[in-house]
Structure 1
Amino acid sequence: MPCAAQADVLLYGLIDTTLRFSTHENTAGDSKWQMTDGAVSGSRWGLRGTEDLGGGLKAWYVLESGFAPDSGVSLQGGRLFGRTAVIGVDGGFGKIALGRQYSLAHEIIASYDATAISNNAIAGYQGGSYTGLRYDNTIKYIKSFGGLQLAAAYTFGEVAGNFSGNNAVAGSVVYSAGPFEAGAVYQVTHDVSTAFFGLPASQASKQTVWALGGTYKMGRTQYYLGYTNSRLDVADYRNNVVYVGAKANLTSALVLSGQFYYDWLLHADRGGKRLTAAAMLDYNFSKRTDVYLEVDYTNLRGEWIALSSAPTFANSGNTYGHGSRLGLMVGLRHKF
């Protein structure tokens, strides 16, 4: 549980460290053992607080820093608060948030993924490259009407003389009723060159993403279903992703979750397919400490092998010319 640093300030965090074995980690096809970040939740610490301004109005903020638990270095490019740096107000009019924050596409798509889009693609699926993950200079508005929630977000590109340069705009709708929830999002981002595609500046593209998804809870099990459509215009990458998953509370302390992704890619009239499956068994010693065992498998075909083997594919998804990867992890996580 968070602990109070001041009357209106909460210090909180999470440390999630794993030991991982994975295959095909270089061009020779060698396996690798490593200590790394969590399978699902990235390690972080942060500060958050609120102030009641009266009349139903509340001010709030979140400052959150990510770090690598195996080395202690700051993540997100070494930023102090690279995960979140946002201030906002809540009231009868809705909620407004300003600053560095998750993209609207990421918030919606992750809601319909049993692993909430696994951490930094350690388990193989590069979901953040479709959602944008986090955007700087963003203003977000959310308003609920009973079971219906509407949201909109705008990211300032801050390019002199070009209002649309580097900017992003998004909108979403979510409907909840009892055990059922469904949502949709549409997001357009200009001048994308930093997705996992590793685009050079000459191929900076407009990325258009839309997605549909839903969850249904039956007894102790929650089921997940979703579809994401991503398009990069200049670089000519088109991805369609279908994903299904489930999370079951086997006992009060033991949780089993699984997720399956099927991604088909079209680039320069060449096709490719990517299948990723992951499962995790999580045992909770308490509300703050748990241990888990995770297994994941990725299989690539066609253009996906070429894409994930490119030098610019600089993350854990690079298979170095091989068509598959098997991963096993055991992790220990503590929240404070």
Structure 2
Amino acid sequence: MSIRPIFPLSALTYAALVCSPPVHAQSSVTLYGVADASVVWQTHADSQGDHAVLVSNGAINHSRFGLIGNEDLGGGTSAFFQLESGFNLQDGTMAAPGTVFDRMAIVGLKGNFGSLSVGNQDTQFYSIMGALDPLTVGDYYDTAWWYATDTFRKPSSVNYTKQFGPFTASLSYAFGGIAGSVARGSQWGSGLTYAQGAFSLAAVYQQTKAAVSGGLQQIFGVASSYKYGDATFYAGYQNNHDNADIGDAQLNVAGAPYGTANVARKDQGAFAGVAWQLTPYVLLREAYYYDDIHDAMKISGNDGVRWAAVSEAEYSFSKRSSVYAQVDYNHTSGAARVQLPYSNNQTEFAVGMRHWF
């Protein structure tokens, strides 16, 4: 239906009247982010076994900035968007060169029906498992590698979330966008979280179809947390059956030799940890990650193990600003050796500062 003005109006005035939101609508846009930088001492930093000292992005959080927008549409429904970009504080470069909003780029609706979002967003596995991680997923590769069996984020995805009392259910589907095939490059996942009092429990299943080979990855995870006094305990498990080469591509050193066997990589991984609020200002974290790998790089019987231990201590000056120290140790054997190129082990010690805005 067209709108015919009674009096002559300029094109700009007419467009403003037609496009103006209802008077009840209220909107807001918020800029947020975190700046986190650290000085790191790292062993086995090159093929000669030399150590390295460098300034890096934060050990706890990757530096980022973002925008969140919300508009009240009435009746308990609102429209929203979120744009988030990672950057390297040590040199000012973008975390993903050529991509502005690498961490999040979504638009959606939320209300009594739940929340529906479309765009580039976290996968079901990463979102659900990461929320119950003792480090909330560390920033360094040596503290976040356990999640690299997944793709972290997936573009062109649709995500639906709905809360039912203590339960939260979520579903997602990502379009492959490949001509001639609906399945190739696609991903779907589902998750269920229960949170009541001091206890949380979550389970997630996700499968991804490779864009080129058409191989299928199926990954399942379960995780929990329990708060007791000033300490919160965490545990999680994943079972990954990967014929889409996701884990190999993300974890292994570039150029690692691939075999020709028609086998799928299999991971049986677990984590455990604790976060202890020692004082109102001091937070201590301990985390342990383990992965048992089979048939890596399309080679039957190419098995290995990787494990990592992480300790953190953080002192908060305020709710926004803190300093911290972290030490992590990684060890690999067998097929996992290609994940650390220069040795079967690596140690990192870091001190840093973090500020939220």
TM superposition score normalised by structure 1: 0.89
| In structure 1, C-alpha distance between the alignment counterparts of 2:43 and 2:161, rounded to whole Å | 43
Identity of aligned residues (%): 30
Q: Say which of 215, 220, 224 aligns to 1:210.
A: 220
Q: CA deviation at 1:205?
A: 3.4
Are residues 1:255 and 2:283 paired?
A: yes
Which consecutive unaligned segments of at least 5 residues does structure 2 have?
Answer: 1-25, 246-263
Are residues 1:15 and 2:35 paired?
A: yes
Q: CA deviation at 1:46?
A: 1.0
Q: 1:169-191: CA deviations, max 9, x gaps?
A: 00001111110010000000111
Matches within 5 A, 1:72-83: 72-83=92-103
Q: CA deviation at 1:19?
A: 0.5
State the match for 2:305 in structure 1: 273
Q: Is the 8 A contact 1:185 1:212 kept in 2?
A: yes
Q: Is the 8 A contact 2:87 2:93 kept in 1?
A: yes
| In structure 2, C-alpha distance between the alignment counterparts of 1:56 and 1:125, rounded to whole Å | 38
Which SS does the other structure have where 2:303 is aligned? strand
Larger Rg: 2
User: Whose relative contact order is higher, 1 or 2, with alpha carbons under 8 Å and at least 6 apart?
Assistant: 1
Q: CA deviation at 1:18?
A: 0.6
Point out the more displaced range, 112-121 or 213-222: 112-121
Q: Say which of 68, 73, 98 aligns to 1:48.
A: 68
Question: As a proportion of its length, which structure holds more strand?
Answer: 1
The runs of at least 4 aligned residues of structure 1 exceeding 4 Å deviation read: none
| CA pair 15-99 structure 1, distance change in 2 beyond 3 A | same
Q: Is the 8 A contact 2:217 2:244 kept in 1?
A: no
Q: Is the 8 A contact 2:175 2:187 kept in 1?
A: yes
| CA pair 234-92 structure 1, distance change in 2 beyond 3 A | closer
State the match for 2:336 in structure 1: 304
TM superposition score normalised by structure 2: 0.84
Which consecutive unaligned segments of at least 5 residues does structure 1 have?
Answer: 1-5, 193-200, 309-318
State the match for 1:328 in structure 2: 349
State the match for 1:316 in structure 2: none
Q: Say which of 101, 113, 126 aligns to 1:93.
A: 113
Matches within 5 A, 1:99-114: 99-114=119-134
Equivalent pairs counted in the alignment come to 310
| In structure 2, C-alpha distance between the alignment counterparts of 1:134 and 1:288, rounded to whole Å | 27
State the match for 2:270 in structure 1: 242
Are residues 1:165 and 2:175 paired?
A: no
Which SS does the other structure have where 1:126 is aligned? helix
Q: Pairwise CA RMSD of aligned residues?
A: 1.6
Q: Is the 8 A contact 2:209 2:244 kept in 1?
A: no
Q: CA deviation at 1:321?
A: 4.0
